[in-house]
Structure formats: structure tokens, C-alpha cells
Structure 1
Amino acid sequence: MQKSLVVAALAALFLAGCEDETPEVTERIRAIKTYTVSQHASGRSRKFPGAVEATDTSSLSFEVSGNVTKVLVDAGDKVVAGQELAELDAEPYRLDVQSGEADLGSARAGFNEKSLELERQKALFAKGWISQAALDQAVAAFETAKNDVDIAQSKLSRLRRDLGKTVMRAPFDGVIATRSVDPFVEVNRGQALFEIFAEGALQIALSIPETVIEQINLGLPAAVNLSSFGACECTAVVTEIGSSAETANAFPVKATLLNPPTSVRPGMTAEVEFLLGIEDTASNFLIPIDAVAAGSQSGQPINLSSYVFVFDAANSTVQKRAIKIGPGTGSFVEVQEGVEPGDVIAAAGVSFLSDGLKVKLLSE
């Protein structure tokens, strides 16, 4: 009987404990991507088409004529400075060097002979056995022989240089862009056989209208869109501005690409976007267009027709703030009122946010 009462009491306690337990509800905190307000909207956007080209490029040719015996690279090959690219038949130049060496030997022998003759004539003149005219003749012969040696030495140096020029080498590290030669073909001095691009260093060639060129200056940054990559988020900076107009009164401008994707190649088309300066926008800022939500808040002026969510680090919440927006510049929009430098705003997914919502940063 007592045992039954104990069991019943324990069961009652167990059931009471179960009734007191309530399932714990875990609060879900949304992670947000943020953007820190800092970039001034200093002007209006203008876009210009262009083409990617290598910053350093060179057409390669032999400095001597001859018959090509070897072509060791093809278009698209990567090369290093000093690497052999092609060879000419060197035998004719080797024979010329041998002939030049013989001529130099003959000139030196003649010089030695005239040198000894001059010493002999000087000794005879000192004894009064020959005239001044005879001594002057010996001196002139010596000087002529000396000049013959100098000429022969210079000729031999040129012939040896020509022999060395029968091998074409890469002037710098790069990529062979084009090849216009095959073995067993006779080529002329200066005939372009290869086009080589310096690897990695790329720029965009642009034509800027005369109505805009005054607003373009060296060091001006630009956003770049490469048609082959879509929105690649590439950037460039102006490094060269032509001093005279070319076709259609447009000025040539070069903008160097900063850290482009490795697969970008010369010849690709590009669109370059400049933010041209206008003084009255110096106090405005650029923010990502995805950070802006449409609509208005009650009690706000009608021109503050959009808003952003500003992150409050003190309590990890976002505060809804009305802004006044201006014109867009690509993937950014100009904010004329409502944000300050240093504000951290939600940069995506703003339609899922609300005023005072507790959030965490995406990196947390």
C-alpha cells in the first residue's frame, strides 16, 4: 500500500514538472550587408566607349635581313625577357666576320710596318742623313696605317653585331599577340614579324569629345564595365591626355586599369564612366542604389521620398531614415540630404527591414 502511494506521488510530481516547462523560442536575427557613407558625389556621370590595350606594346623585327631558319613561339605564348623567338641563317654573317677579322689583321700588320719605318726615319733624320720631307712622309704613312686599323676594328665590331642580330629575343616579359613569319622565308631589315604585349599592364583607349575634354584631368578615377564580364567592378585612372584632337574633334585619352581580372585581354571592348566635377554637389554623397527603399514616412517633407536603414552599433538595430536623392551614377545614387559621413547603412535586402529591427552584420 505504501509502495503504491510513493509511486503515485512521484508520477504527480513528474506531470507537474512537465506542465511547467515551456519550449524556448530562439530569436532569429537578420544579417545585413552594410555600406559606410564616405564617397562624395562630386559631379555628373558620363560614359564613353573604349578598347582595352596593353600599356607596353612593341612590334618586333630583325635588324638585319636574311632567311628565317627557326620560329620558336606562336601567338598567345607567354615569354620572358631575353627568350629566343626566332633565328636567321647566320652563315653569311659568320663569313663576313671572318673577312673582317682578316682585314683587321692585315691593317695591324701594315701599322706595325709603318711604325718601325717611322722609328728608322727618325733615327736617320737625327743624324742628318734624310730631309725633313722624308720624315714627314714617314709620319703621314704611320698615321694612315693607324687610321686603317681603327676603320678595320670598327667594321669588325659592326659585323659581329650583325651576327648577333640574327637571333631575335623578347625585349620584356609578355605575351606574343601576333606572329607574321614562318621558317624558310626571306625577311627584310625592320619588317614586323611579332607583336608583343607586356603581361598584366593594361589600359583603355578612349576618344573624349572636345566639349568634355576640359573636365578630364590626369589621375581622374573611373568605373569600368567590360562587356565580356558584365559588371566586373573594375576601376581605372586617367594617365594620358592627348594634346590635339583627332577624328570628329575628339581627343585621345588613356586610362590605366587597376587590378583587372586576369582573363582581360587587349582588344576587348569597355565602357568607362567618369564622375565629372560640379562644385554645388560637393556636400552630397554616393550610396549603392540597392540601399535605397522607395516610399515616405509620415511627418517628413514630401521631397524626402526615399529612405535608408542606418545601423546603430550601440543596440544592434537599424533606424529608418528619410533621404533626398539626386541623379544616379551607374550602380550608385546621389544623396542630397539625410546621410552623413561615417553612417553605416544596410546595402541590400532593405525591403525585409523595419525601423528598430534587431540585426547583425553579415560578417559576424
Structure 2
Amino acid sequence: MKRSRRLFWLLAVVLLLLLGGGTALFFRGAGGSGEPAPGYKTAEVSRGTLERTVSSSGTLAAVETVTVGTEVSGTIDKVLVDFNSRVEKGEVLATLKPALFAAAVAEGEAAVARAEADLALAQRELERSRPLYDKGYLSEQEFLPLRFNVDRYRAALDQARATLARARTNERNATIRSPIDGTVIQRSIDAGQTVAASLNTPTLFVIARDLARMQIEADVDETDIGQIRPEQAVRFTVQSYPDRTFAGTVRQVRLQPETVQSVVTYTVIVEAANPEGVLLPGMTATVDFVVEHLEDVLLIPNAALRFTPEEKESAPASGQSHHSAAKTGGRVFRLGATGELQKVAVSTLASDGQVTAISDDGLQAGDAVVTGPAREDTKVKKSFSLFGAMRGRPRK
């Protein structure tokens, strides 16, 4: 009996201890109000490089290309060069069949000879008749046609000589030569093909002077063209080498606009070196015009500049005032030692749309700035459980 009573009191004491410990844990923080998460989201101030760019696209082309055509019609006899052939100025590229041109020259020479003979005969008759005219044996009406015949045959001779010169020029033009030193990047003819130089000169070859220098014809939107200037640095990539970045400079901003479906763009010419010859005409380039480049500057997210707390939540940081923050045109907030918001004046330098470069006044790398309020659902709602409290954790 005495043993049973002792066991009863022992269990009672243990139960009271358990109830007391659970109650203490409950009031210490495991109650229904929950443990609040931090009230603000923060981001770290970093130091790095900020670059602001304007993006565009364009097509690669040789800096100087020459279209080689023909001034005469005929049939292609020989083609002496092909794609990618290196040519020198004056080198023969192709020839037309010479038979017709040689015949035209021969015909012109015969016409000149006939005109010379007619002129000689007319001059001979004029000289023979002049003494008779001077002595009065020939009237003015009889003598005048003789002088006109001389003038007419002299004009006919000039015409024949011009026709011969044209025939000889056509014969020379039947041999098509390169006008520059360069590389053949297009060939549009084959032997036996007929070319007709009537209204439009046919294109036979396209020659690029120097493929070690390329240019990009980039289309820049009217909203960005004001930020582009000559000698501006440019980066670009091509699809053939996606992991490689090439450099260039702006050579020209053309003033003639182009409007396509109510979108106005301007053509910007970018020069780029191509010493390895990996850039080819016609490639599509994705271009970034470097508008601004800042190195070793403090960077903060733009959300920190946009964050505006309620007036009662913020206080000026040490050494700062509301007046000075407004004076510099920028301000951010950081958390004080006790969790209060402190306003810090900053001087903004530039922004790329995501981060902003600021001066070194007031902040340094590693500082945390507030970017916005914490979400309300970050507070964890808890309910008390005796056994959970005994285990040292609340039950969610």
C-alpha cells in the first residue's frame, strides 16, 4: 500500500514537471503569434565594371567592292578566274569571242580607206577646177558644189575614223580585266554564255579589294541613334563563332533614314579588322555599341534606388541628412544596428537597367542596402504541441 502511494506521488511530480516545461516553452516563443522573419530584403553593394550598350544587328561586307561588268555584248569565250581567286589590277578575267569584234574593226578600216579616197578625189577635182573658175571659164554655180564635195568627204572621213575607233575600243573591251587588286567573291558567268550590254550593264564578277578589313552595316532604331557617334567602340559576334567576340569602331552614321512598317532606322557603318580571314561577307553580326564604360565602381541594384519606405520608418544615417540626400539626386536605405532604416545619399553615375554605378560617398563594397519589404508570407505560423515542445521544436 505504501509502495503504491509512493509510486502515485512520483508520477504526479513527473507530470507537473512536464506541464511546467511545456508551458515555459510555449511562452518563450512557440505560441500562436509566430516568429517574424526579417522585415526587409537586402542586397550587397559590390565593386565591378558597368557597361551601357545599344544592341543592333547587321550584315558583314568588304569595305570596298567593285562590280565588274561588260560594255559590249557577245558570247563568253574564256573565264580565267573563279571564286576566291586573287587578282591584280589589269589582270584578264574573261574574254568574249573575238570574231565579230575583229570583223567590225576590219569594216571600220575599210570605211576609213574609202573615205580617204573620196576626199582625195574631191580635192583633186577642186584643185583642177580652181584655175578655170579664176579665169571665168566656170561660173559660181558650177564651182560651189566642188568645194562642198571636199567638205562633205572630209566629214565622212572623220565619221569613218570615229567608227573605227569605236570598233577598236569594243575589241579591247571584249577582254575583261580587273580594275583593282583584290579577291573575286562572285562570278556570274560561264564559258559559252551570252551577255547583252544594252540598257543595264550585266554583272560578271564582284571583287573585294581587301578582306582583311570588313565593315558591318547595322540598322539602329531612331530611339537609340542619338547615342551613336563616330569612333565609338563596338563589340559584335557572329553565329559561326558564338563563343568569340570581335571588336570594331563606328566609322559613319548615315543620315538617310529607312522606314519599314512605320519603324525608322538609320544605317551605321562599323569597321572591323579581319587579319585571320574568319569574317566572311554576308555573315549576320549581333552588334553592341558601347555607350558608356565604367571600371572599378560601386554597384547597387536599381531596386535599392526605387525603394521608398513610409516616412516614419526611416532615419538619416550617421553624417547624412534628408536635405543632403535630395541634393545629390539619389538615396538608398540600409538597416541600422537595431534594425531601423537609415537613409544614405548617393551620387549615381550610370545604369545599365539592372544595376547602377554610384560614387564612393557613404557606402562601400560589402554593405547591405534595402531593396524592398519582405513578403508577408515569410512569417511562419506556429501552434503549440506539448510533445513537440518537449522535443524542442514547434509543430507547423
State the TM-score, normalized to the length of structure 2. 0.59
Aligned residue among 97, 101, 109 for 1:101: 109
Distance 1:250 1:170, change over 3 A: farther
Gapped regions of structure 2 (runs ≥ 5) = 1-49, 301-317, 321-330, 335-345, 362-396
Q: Aligned AA for 1:271?
A: T
Distance 1:69 1:46 in 2: 52
CA contact (8 A) 2:222 2:266 kept: no
Aligned residue among 173, 182, 186 for 2:181: 173
Distance 2:100 2:125 in 1: 38
CA contact (8 A) 2:249 2:271 kept: yes
Distance 1:324 1:117, change over 3 A: same
Aligned residue among 109, 123, 133 for 1:125: 133
Q: Secondary structure at the match of 1:130?
A: coil
The match for 2:223 is 211
The match for 2:265 is 251
Q: Secondary structure at the match of 2:256?
A: coil
CA contact (8 A) 2:56 2:220 kept: yes
Distance 1:198 1:272, change over 3 A: same
Aligned residue among 359, 367, 373 for 1:337: 359
Superposed, which structure 2 residues align to 1:113-192 within 5 Å?
113-189=121-197, 190-192=201-203
Q: Aligned AA for 2:286?
A: E
Deviations 1:117-156 (A, max 9, x none): 2222322221111111122111111110011001001100
Deviations 1:58-82 (A, max 9, x none): 3322221222121111111122221
Distance 1:148 1:63 in 2: 26
Distance 2:356 2:183 in 1: 42
CA contact (8 A) 1:47 1:273 kept: yes
The match for 2:281 is 266
Q: Aligned AA for 1:337?
A: S
Distance 1:194 1:260 in 2: 23
CA contact (8 A) 2:214 2:273 kept: no
How many residue pairs were aligned?
270
For residue 252 of structure 1, report the CA deviation from its aligned partner: 4.2
For residue 112 of structure 1, report the CA deviation from its aligned partner: 1.3
The match for 2:351 is 327
Q: Aligned AA for 2:215?
A: Q
Q: Aligned AA for 1:94?
A: A
The match for 2:325 is none
Q: Aligned AA for 1:194?
A: F
Superposed, which structure 2 residues align to 1:278-297 within 5 Å?
286-288=293-295, 291=296
Q: Secondary structure at the match of 2:189?
A: coil
The match for 2:382 is none
Superposed, which structure 2 residues align to 1:2-13 within 5 Å?
none
Greater Cα shift, 47-56 or 140-149: 47-56
CA contact (8 A) 2:188 2:203 kept: yes
Distance 1:48 1:304 in 2: 36
Q: Aligned AA for 2:293?
A: L
Deviations 1:253-280 (A, max 9, x none): 141414344422211121222355xxxx
Deviations 1:158-195 (A, max 9, x none): 00011011111111122211222211222222322222
Gapped regions of structure 1 (runs ≥ 5) = 1-39, 277-284, 306-321, 340-364
Q: Aligned AA for 1:101?
A: E
Distance 1:294 1:59, change over 3 A: closer
Q: Secondary structure at the match of 1:250?
A: strand
Identity of aligned residues (%): 25
The match for 1:360 is none
For residue 233 of structure 1, report the CA deviation from its aligned partner: 4.2
The match for 2:366 is none
Distance 2:164 2:356 in 1: 71
Distance 1:119 1:51, change over 3 A: same
Distance 1:252 1:165, change over 3 A: farther
For residue 303 of structure 1, report the CA deviation from its aligned partner: 6.2
Deviations 1:77-129 (A, max 9, x none): 12222111111111211111011101101101111111222222322221111
Q: Aligned AA for 1:207?
A: D
Distance 1:210 1:98 in 2: 62
Q: Secondary structure at the match of 1:182?
A: coil
Q: Secondary structure at the match of 1:64?
A: coil
Does residue 237 of the first structure (1) align with residue 250 of the second (2)?
yes
The match for 2:15 is none
Does residue 221 of the first structure (1) align with residue 209 of the second (2)?
no
Q: Secondary structure at the match of 2:203?
A: coil
Distance 1:294 1:112 in 2: 96
Distance 1:246 1:74, change over 3 A: farther
CA contact (8 A) 2:186 2:205 kept: yes
Q: Secondary structure at the match of 2:57?
A: strand
Distance 1:101 1:175 in 2: 39
Q: Aligned AA for 1:77?
A: S
Distance 2:145 2:348 in 1: 100
Distance 2:268 2:167 in 1: 42
Q: Aligned AA for 2:208?
A: F
For residue 223 of structure 1, report the CA deviation from its aligned partner: 0.6
The match for 2:391 is none
For residue 294 of structure 1, report the CA deviation from its aligned partner: 7.4
Q: Aligned AA for 1:156?
A: L
